[in-house]
Amino acid sequence: MSLRDNPLGELKVPLTWTAGIVFLVVLIAAVAILLSDRRESFETDAYGRTRTMSDKALEPVGDALSAPGRWTGAGVDAVRGYFFAVSENRRLKAELKEMRQWRDVAIALKDDNERYRAILGLQTDPPIPMVAARIVTDSRGPFANTRLANAGREKGVKVGHPVMSENGLVGRVIGVTDGASRVLTLTDVASRTPVMIDRTNARAILTGDGGPNPRLEYLRGQEPVRDGDRVLTSGDGGMFPRGLPVGRAVKGLDGRWRVVLASDRAPVDYVRILLFEDFTVLANRAELDQPSSPPPPTPGGPALLPPPPTAAAPAAGSATPPASRAATPPAARPAPATPAPATPAPKTAAPTPKANGGAAAQTSSAVRSPATTPAPKTAAPKTSGTATPPAVTPAPKTPAPKTPAPKTPAPKTPAPQTSAPPPSGARP
Amino acid sequence: MNGGARTLEPWRWLGVPMLQVMGATLLFALPLRVWGLALPEPIFALPVAFAWAVIRPSVLAPFGVALMGFFLDLLWGGPLGLWAVCLLIAYGVALGGRAMLAGQSRGMMWAWYGVLTALSMSAAYLFTMLDAKGMASPLSVFWQFLATVILYPFADRLIERFEDADVRFR
């Protein structure tokens, strides 16, 4: 059909004006969509059906397209392994020799650690189940740094779960669908991660800016960080478990402290999604509310404490802080109002495994390392020869003293507090 | 069929480049490293949006630009609508200054393309700053700008091929 045969061929439309109007309409619609977007929200619904569907569609496409790259990499590794087998064997033997020494040190430290936990009645984090996933797409621009992983809702992945490579923390899940999860990396401009400096315990917020090295912001104290300091997740806020390796601190060219991410040491092709729930979900409130029996005697405990008096246990027991049940320092807990010694027994040092996980779930060894357990630095009370100083001990006439515990220096070992009243000198 | 007298079908100058942009963007979003270095992340849609505005005004082109922008947002996981708006800004400015751009030399067109790329990325910087309440690294923005600016030959080829291809617009 020629142009003249077309019935609309003679129709004169002011094309420039029409195109301009269409352009304005599309622009307004795009602005409205941009303003209504809530990408980094923790609400699952906020991620949106469009994103969910697109992630679901992109996952097999990215997986298929990246397969040749994976095969090529595996082939190169195989060839390299064949030709460099002797030198690698030599290197591995030397490394094994060194690791054996470290194993002995680790066994001794583990033993010490378990004893300290038993003495302090410290409850450690339970083991965290995790699922393995492969990264199928990766955006690296300055305005969005996300990755798409090929494990989703069917494996128990939820929004907010931390994601790690074999070297360190990668980010957290911001969207999940069947078979795919969207991971917001630490370098994204919207990423904020509570971290701590391992050496000084100083807290900071790791803030992404689209570059390879996110900034350390809100650092406090005098010289809280030095070049090369190890940076770990602090666990503050309950979003991440404490102690996940993040990277090392470096001074940036702009004079600000930045972090060289540990996960950048190698390509992030396989990741572990930790099925970590917020600590408020981890805690069994019903169990915590139940009164429990006094803790068992700790090894070496009686030698460190004054001899227990024979009477007036209720009044004195209420004046002392209860034994620590978690990483919270005992001095930070108020004294119980009941005259009976309501000090809960410390949990066993062995953590209770989490119920969920599924068949694909494994146990994270990274979070069970000594670096990941709650640090006893903050939880350990100061040494005190007596249970309670006389100045703050309430009168024995009142069975339920109202003096809060934080004002009293707490004894080093909380276990005997349930039956150990203040010394007789404290009484009028 | 006489190729010189036929009309230019939209899929040829709008559909095919759009699909090529999506394919190239997807390929560069794969988690590959070459000699330990990650691939750059240029905005392949910008030269196409620029070329469409220069070639001729069109009712369908803004929809194509927005579609490419939404695709980038969904693939990269950024705020939905960010690149749709930024690409439309570049497209709209190029469309408004079409009369001025016509007949310019290749170098001059490249310079105008660079200006519009900078405008588009500045808008992205601003919107990201407002959305995430944090500033993107200027160095990273510069690298992406550089990787995008060198794509002008693709826009030039598109312009050369389709600017005079429709008898109705001669």
Point out the residues of chain A with pLDDT beneath 70: 1-13, 38-46, 278-428
Q: Is residue B3 part of a domain?
A: no
Return the SS3 of B15: helix
Q: Is residue B5 part of a domain?
A: no
Q: Does A200 touch chain B (CB under 8 A)?
A: no
- The verdict on a CB contact (< 8 Å) between B62 and A26 is yes
- β-bridge mates for residue A271, sequence order: A133
pLDDT one-digit tens code per residue, B117-130: 999 999 999 999 98
Nearest-Cα distance to chain B for A131, in Å, is 20
B138: containing domain: 10-30+41-164
Does this complex have an ipTM over 0.85?
yes
Half-sphere exposure of residue B10: CA atoms within 13 angstroms, side-chain side: 8
Nearest-Cα distance to chain A for B138, in Å, is 8
Which chain A residues have a beta carbon less than 8 Å from that of B134?
189-190, 207-209
Distance CA A377, CA A201 (A): 9
Distance CA B168, CA A308 (A): 104
- β-bridge mates for residue A248, sequence order: A230, A260
Residue A205 makes CB contacts below 8 A (sequence gap 6+) with A192, A193, A194, A195, A216, A217, A218
Q: Does A186 touch chain B (CB under 8 A)?
A: no
Q: Which residues of A192-213 are buried (b: 16+ CB within 10 A; e: fewer)?
A: bbbbbbbeeebbbbbbbbbbbb
Nearest-Cα distance to chain A for B156, in Å, is 22
Structure tokens at B41: 């992340």
Per-residue pLDDT, B38: 80
Q: Is residue B4 part of a domain?
A: no
Q: Is residue B133 part of a domain?
A: yes
Which residue has tokens 């980094």?
A: A40
- The verdict on a CB contact (< 8 Å) between A210 and B141 is yes
Distance CA A35, CA A21 (A): 21
Which chain B residues have a beta carbon less than 8 Å from that of A27?
62, 85, 88-89, 92
Q: Does B4 touch chain A (CB under 8 A)?
A: no
Signed CA dihedral, A397, A399, A404, A405: sign only: positive
Q: Is residue B170 part of a domain?
A: no
The total domain count for chain B is 1
Per-residue pLDDT, A312: 40
Residue A231 makes CB contacts below 8 A (sequence gap 6+) with A195, A196, A197, A198, A204, A206, A216, A245, A246, A247, A248, A249, A259
Q: Is residue B1 part of a domain?
A: no
Question: pTM (2 decimals)?
Answer: 0.70
Q: Is residue B36 part of a domain?
A: no
Q: Is residue B35 part of a domain?
A: no
Find which of A251-255, A332-336, B35-39, B65-69 is predicted with most confidence, using mean pLDDT. B65-69
Nearest-Cα distance to chain B for A14, in Å, is 10
pLDDT band, very low/low/confident/very high, at B104 (cuts 50, 70, 90): confident
Amino acid letter, residue B39? L
Per-residue pLDDT, A420: 36
Do the bridges between strand A230-233 and strand A192-197 make them parallel or antiparallel, or are there none, so unpaired? antiparallel
